[in-house]
Structure 1
């Protein structure tokens, strides 16, 4: 792995699925990296045929080709942070974990995409187990929403702040250095997230924004955190900057008018 000079552009890598509609996955990650002044590289773990209304087809990428992508990127680029999105197969999870350990990857942001907006589980139980044992111990920060936390912990979904505290602390036991538990599924006007480490509990409040255009919100938040970590800032500072960025991107989402379903957030709200 190349070392970055003090004057080089920070680089972040996303390992995730491709969204042909451009709102989530690899496409959202690269947009967020660019918007925050970070060069983005990518490893595509799955292909999807989707738009703002539906996912029509999914094509998995063979694990050994994913390995080749990771090796090729790390052999040439000075990767300052890694964002991991949905990895649907245990074999893929094992390959990603193995290569990240081999290259001693740092600043790993794990967004455990496991539950669809419909409430359906996206990962088989074997993949969930692999995620817990292989990737959570490598994560600098884990960024689940409440349904995903429930799947990881095999428990009921948190319904209040006290539940969130207990869930975040339980997730730390799997090995991530920090957990950002997203509270958007709670009821009420507030949409507070909880940053939990071994040393602190920090509530990050945000008002709930009325829009249907929230496709890619979780992908964008986690990749924004990775972008900030690639710049060398602390986890708390990265989370606070990323929260401000995604809140503004959601607030500006209705200006885009993309598609007829759940449109994307506005990654480039500061420039367009």
Structure 2
């Protein structure tokens, strides 16, 4: 079954259902690289969690020297330290969802999978490959490891169109999504931001149906961290007990508003960040 979602005219916020007692806060863990400019990676993930009312824990996989114009250096964190961060967090904190972002090498991908072996909750996997500036963040040698080791663990995979091309080759968006499902992921969100046209459409494909999420394209260069923020907002919805398609729709609405308000921030001279707290900062 395929359904389409209308363009989003309504402003954010939208009420999120509260599945637990008022004395408990949903908790999410992000496993990703750090962005010293604050617009993407761990920093964007934690901002998205906070904007959604979710407590965020973090595991740093790499430290980048990065701003709105370029990534000038990347320092990978040793695999054993990444694994130790994951295990230490999970030993103490009841994590409701895990979001995975930048993983640079096959050995790190394997270490993360091993560290998550005992975790039974949902996982949102954002296959971060290239920064907004064009700098490569995932080595080609790691792509096969990502597909063979982590895809089967992913509740949702969130590739943009260039990432989908690298993962499964050419084809229609629907065909690429099916190929990704065949590799073992639970569902796929094909992000359409790199396509042409005044309407930007994201395609959500699960094993039970397909749904379009569309919005008018925003004329701004300040879109740094959109992928990280989007996947983290979806993860936050899952942490708070939303069904997967509802979490995607809620995050889509929030991100569209974050892009609409991005020019208000005036951060940097290149591709600035989206406005994570557009509904909170007045």
> Which deviations, in whole Å up to 9, do the C-alpha atoms of 1:100-151 show, x marking residues without a partner?
12233x1100000113446565322320000001111100000000010011
Match of residue 259 from structure 1: 268
2:127 is the alignment partner of 1:112: yes
Q: Runs ≥4 in structure 1, deviation > 6 angstroms?
A: none
Please state whether the residue corresponding to 1:16 is helix, strand or coil. Answer: strand
2:150 is the alignment partner of 1:150: no
Q: Which residue, 52, 55, 64 being the options, matches 1:39?
A: 55
Aligned pairs (5 A) from 1:216-235: 216-235=225-244
Aligned pairs (5 A) from 1:69-218: 69-104=85-120, 106-117=121-132, 121-153=136-168, 155-156=169-170, 163-218=172-227
In structure 2, the CA distance between the partners of 1:75 and 1:5, relative to structure 1 (3 Å rule), is farther
| Cα contact 1:12–1:226 (8 A) shared by 2 | yes
Moved more, 125-134 or 247-256: 125-134
Q: Distance in 2 between matches of 1:216 and 1:184?
A: 12
Please state whether the residue corresponding to 1:258 is helix, strand or coil. Answer: coil
| Cα contact 2:123–2:154 (8 A) shared by 1 | yes
| Cα contact 1:93–1:135 (8 A) shared by 2 | yes
Q: Distance in 2 between matches of 1:204 and 1:82?
A: 23
> Which deviations, in whole Å up to 9, do the C-alpha atoms of 1:45-94 show, x marking residues without a partner?
00001111111111000000001000110000000001100100111100
| Cα contact 1:115–1:147 (8 A) shared by 2 | no
| Cα contact 1:83–1:223 (8 A) shared by 2 | yes
Q: Distance in 2 between matches of 1:184 and 1:34?
A: 24
Count the aligned residue pairs.
262
Where do 5+ consecutive residues of structure 2 fail to align? 1-18
Q: Distance in 2 between matches of 1:120 and 1:48?
A: 11
Q: Distance in 1 between matches of 2:134 and 2:69?
A: 16
Shift of 1:98: 1.1
Shift of 1:5: 6.8
- Greater RCO, 1 or 2 (C-alpha within 8 Å, sep 6+): 2
| Cα contact 2:70–2:135 (8 A) shared by 1 | no
Please state whether the residue corresponding to 1:249 is helix, strand or coil. Answer: helix
**What is the TM-score when the length of structure 2 is the normalising length?**
0.90
**What is the TM-score when the length of structure 1 is the normalising length?**
0.93
Shift of 1:8: 1.1
